[in-house]
Amino acid sequence: MSLMYVERDALLAASGRWTDLETLMNGTASLLRASNTAGLAPGIRAAGDAFLQTWVTYAAESAAIASGFADALRASASAYTAADESAAVRLNTLDGRLGPEQ
């Protein structure tokens, strides 16, 4: 890696938006869970129910994916901050001047 640059706030803002997506998809899972196939002919309700059930799990998985992105970005921001702070601590201990340590 020759280049690296990070703005901590940009990562945290993006993390917040991924969290919003997590909320959106949790809502979608609830929407699909509340949907029903009572309006369909009896012969196709089973297929409809199976479809809805499957897509509830997909929506929940999407929420988990969004949550994973949010967490990863937050963790990255923390890690960058920690690394920066750690580096700062170490670099602050450096003495670049000649002569006895002061």
Q: Footprint of other proteins on this chain (CB under 8 A)?
A: 1, 3-7, 9-11, 14, 17-18, 20-21, 24-25, 27-28, 31-32, 34-44, 47-48, 50-51, 54-55, 58-59, 62, 65-66, 69, 72-73, 76
Measured from the CB atom, the residue of 10 and 99 that comes closer to other proteins is 10
CA 27, CA 17: separation in Å to the nearest integer?
15
> Minimum distance between the CB of residue 39 and other proteins, rounded to whole angstroms?
2
CA 25, CA 16: separation in Å to the nearest integer?
14
Measured from the CB atom, the residue of 85 and 95 that comes closer to other proteins is 85
Measured from the CB atom, the residue of 38 and 94 that comes closer to other proteins is 38
> Minimum distance between the CB of residue 90 and other proteins, rounded to whole angstroms?
20
Q: Residues near 45 by Cβ (< 8 Å), separated by ≥ 6?
A: 37, 38
Q: How far is CA 34 from CA 23, 31, 53, 70, 95, in A?
A: 16, 5, 10, 27, 66
Length of the chain: 102
